[in-house]
Chains A and B, each alone.
Chain A
């Protein structure tokens, strides 16, 4: 198939960016979207042009490195997958494809389609963990956990930290990301002792880093490649409220 690519080019965070059009031809329907970009970059390198920078690594939908706003949607048109898992059979011959980076203030552009998502790491560092040291822990089967709770925790833990939720949200809210981690630990007995402190610290850090608030449009859930549920946001709100009440009592 032959395609026109309208790609956001920006030399660095300090430079102004613009769309540049490229043509690629003879692309197989079975190629992945990123393989299509590889082919473009090979051609650019041979021509002596600057190849398009984009983040990617595992190319099987689990590392969360790839991003890309494709035709106005994070991770492109298909549901429940990342950009790297999308194949060209989702597009039509002759189509013009618009490719942009995540656009959110807390995710500044580094170059072209690469953005800086270290804000997510900072939120985790603020409290997204269980404070246990290596060694000296009880036997793994010492505490039975209802299968239903473990499954819900796993649903939340499936988040890959790609940032599509933030990119999809008109408020650039990180609520889905933060609530997935809060929920995972809130649902498990191992996470309960610090649950109140954790949710307060993570939410405070999220606000400090400039992420917006949730106005319940559910765009995050619709675009999440791992289909993380907004029920996690409701759970986080409950945890947050409880934490406040408990803090007032003390």
Chain B
């Protein structure tokens, strides 16, 4: 298993990153100019990395699927970003942020990576403030913090309910600065179709221009994938419509190992599904759980009346309500981690206490907070979220309880990377949600923004440089090499094949079917039988897709159906690997809940003896089963315990 070398630096936890930086190889300024780096994806991680590489003096080519880097899906993150500043003096520290993140991830993340994340978290806040990010402030002019799930301290920095937007615009402005200077060349509206490997190293990409359909070749000394997560495998998720897993999937098929593919985060507070035409789900920030109380009716007959519309939630007295999170988890109450909150909601709804017309919803109630703090305080904290809710559901959350239900939100799994964020393909790096690295089996709220910016601003500029230090004598690659030739030919063949099927079903119809299979069998609760069934169903769906899909138009035009088709091809295959990984992991941990493995109280039951490892899957060909490699997780600095939020 020589390939799975995590390359964790020696020494005490708090000195590993310092030691790494002290001993890494550097590239001198005149050589930096001769080295090219491709960055795919310009969300938080990608934009931060591309801007930082540009500042250092490398030649950067950055690619994004949108018309502007400012539209990347990082923009939709609402609640906040964690850091261990301890400004509120409530006992926070780098170690505590590290510990909470490892514990929140149910002990399935690598200690050294998570510690580094906590360590650089403070630098991120400094950086963003210097860029002019308008974080919320207190009357004294200093930064404000709020609390978030899975923590007992207030360490979350925020910019109203639009923290992701403001951080992305900060990274976008840094990127724009470099584009203006000419150190970064930005290619917008591009989809990655293939990764190009030369002599075992990542050396380029094949891109499709989404306006002209032109297939382009781009070469570089190193390639960074910061293309986000693959939650859209489920069709309905809180991800944006164009968010996709194709770049990481292409990398996987070229030899990069895929880490923990089944680890999916189902976010507890989303607006419930309402119709079969629905295109996506909308998240209501976890920050709402600071002041909102989650409940369902205590008695099944009340729940039934509410579902039928003969009773309103406001008519139910306190004694007839079940604040089930406060009841089950008195220590953390409504602020338990996301996986715990989601499963508890499912448990109540499955038991017949759900509300809404479908019975698949629970209440999130602000009456008490409005009474305690006043409507103006709630409005100042969550005004934009309440407005968003009202526009979608047509109900006023200041006057009646919000309805929420869990929805797919984030994928902890991703390309396996070592301490340097390098995949098993030399020269190919993965950052942000695209890698598997920091969140284990469950991500805590306000940690995705932290990880994206940590990877982009503070990790890759060091580790990519370390990789490039011995590449200084390698001349820039030409794109007429046979490897580029072949990669382009393969992608063109796939496009031709899709366009020529001319079947009777739309791409979306397949995507919806895949989503249902994934939600039913690879969603919040999984079991052996269901997962086996899912694998067969997905394989059948794949065959059907290639026989009967209809992709109209041609390649040489704006063709959103073709774009979707190319992504769904990869989603189908990725869905199968997710099911396979979930089947193999015979334990429950974090967001991965196997019904066979639970405590008598219904909590996730880990099997530390047999499953304290990262599963890293290797592609073995389209017709062969993938091979499982294991990276054992060694906990040297903390004690592994059963998670307890009671």
**CB atoms of A118 and B277 under 8 A apart:** no
- CB interface residues, A 40-66, toward B, < 8 Å: 42, 45-46, 48-51, 53, 55-65
Taking CB atoms, residues of chain B closer than 8 Å to A129 are 131-132, 173-174, 176-177
- CB interface residues, A 132-165, toward B, < 8 Å: 132-135, 137-141, 144-147, 150-151, 153-154, 157-158, 160-161
**CB atoms of A150 and B73 under 8 A apart:** no
B331 within 8 Å of A (CB atoms): no
A187: nearest residue on chain B (CB-CB)? B134
- CB interface residues, A 60-97, toward B, < 8 Å: 60-65, 78, 80-81, 85-87, 89
B457 within 8 Å of A (CB atoms): yes
Looking at the complex, which one of B129, B132, B282, B561 makes contact with A51 (CB distance below 8 Å)? Answer: B561
- CB interface residues, A 106-140, toward B, < 8 Å: 110-111, 114, 116-118, 120-121, 124-135, 137-140
Contact A141 B142, CB 8 Å, known A59-B241, A154-B159, A161-B70: yes
Complex alpha-carbon distance, A32 and B241, angstroms: 14
- CB interface residues, B 274-292, toward A, < 8 Å: 274-275, 277-280, 282-283
B318 within 8 Å of A (CB atoms): no
- CB interface residues, B 249-300, toward A, < 8 Å: 274-275, 277-280, 282-283
Complex alpha-carbon distance, A126 and B85, angstroms: 34
**CB atoms of A28 and B71 under 8 A apart:** no
> What is the CB-to-nearest-CB distance from A7 to chain B, in angstroms, rounded to a whole number?
15
**CB atoms of B180 and A63 under 8 A apart:** no
Taking CB atoms, residues of chain B closer than 8 Å to A144 are 140-142
Taking CB atoms, residues of chain A closer than 8 Å to B283 are 60
**CB atoms of A62 and B134 under 8 A apart:** no
Could you show 14 A-B contacts with beta carbons less than 8 Å apart?
A30-B275, A35-B278, A38-B277, A49-B552, A60-B76, A121-B186, A125-B179, A134-B127, A135-B457, A140-B126, A145-B141, A157-B166, A161-B71, A190-B131
Looking at the complex, which one of B172, B242, B558, B561 makes contact with A57 (CB distance below 8 Å)? Answer: B242
Convert B119-155 into 0s and 1s, putting 1 for each residue whose CB lies closer than 8 angstroms to a CB of A.
0000101111111101111111111000000000000
**CB atoms of B130 and A118 under 8 A apart:** no
**CB atoms of A87 and B211 under 8 A apart:** no
A133: nearest residue on chain B (CB-CB)? B55
Contact A30 B76, CB 8 Å, known A38-B508, A128-B176: no
What would 6 more interface pairs be, CB under 8 Å, given A38-B277, A110-B558, A160-B165?
A56-B241, A63-B76, A87-B392, A89-B394, A137-B129, A154-B136
**CB atoms of A141 and B550 under 8 A apart:** no
B388 within 8 Å of A (CB atoms): yes
3 nearest CB pairs, A to B: A144-B141, A129-B173, A137-B130
> What is the CB-to-nearest-CB distance from A118 to chain B, in angstroms, rounded to a whole number?
7
**CB atoms of A157 and B169 under 8 A apart:** yes
Q: List chain B positions with a Cβ less than 8 A from chain A.
A: 48, 51-52, 55, 66-73, 75-76, 85, 87, 123, 125-132, 134-143, 159-160, 162, 164-166, 169, 172-174, 176-177, 179-180, 186, 188, 211, 240-242, 274-275, 277-280, 282-283, 387-388, 391-392, 394, 457-458, 461, 504, 506, 508-509, 550, 552-553, 557-558, 560-561
Taking CB atoms, residues of chain B closer than 8 Å to A56 are 241
**CB atoms of A188 and B134 under 8 A apart:** yes
**CB atoms of B75 and A62 under 8 A apart:** yes
Taking CB atoms, residues of chain B closer than 8 Å to A45 are 506, 550, 552, 561
> What is the CB-to-nearest-CB distance from B273 to chain A, in angstroms, rounded to a whole number?
11
A199 within 8 Å of B (CB atoms): no
Taking CB atoms, residues of chain A closer than 8 Å to B275 are 28, 30-31
Taking CB atoms, residues of chain B closer than 8 Å to A157 are 134, 159, 166, 169
**CB atoms of B173 and A128 under 8 A apart:** yes
Contact A184 B176, CB 8 Å, known A45-B561, A139-B126, A146-B141: no
Looking at the complex, which one of A48, A60, A114, A128 makes contact with B388 (CB distance below 8 Å)? Answer: A60
Complex alpha-carbon distance, A126 and B136, angstroms: 27
**CB atoms of A141 and B143 under 8 A apart:** yes
Complex alpha-carbon distance, A50 and B279, angstroms: 20
> What is the CB-to-nearest-CB distance from B467 to chain A, in angstroms, rounded to a whole number?
18
**CB atoms of A59 and B279 under 8 A apart:** yes
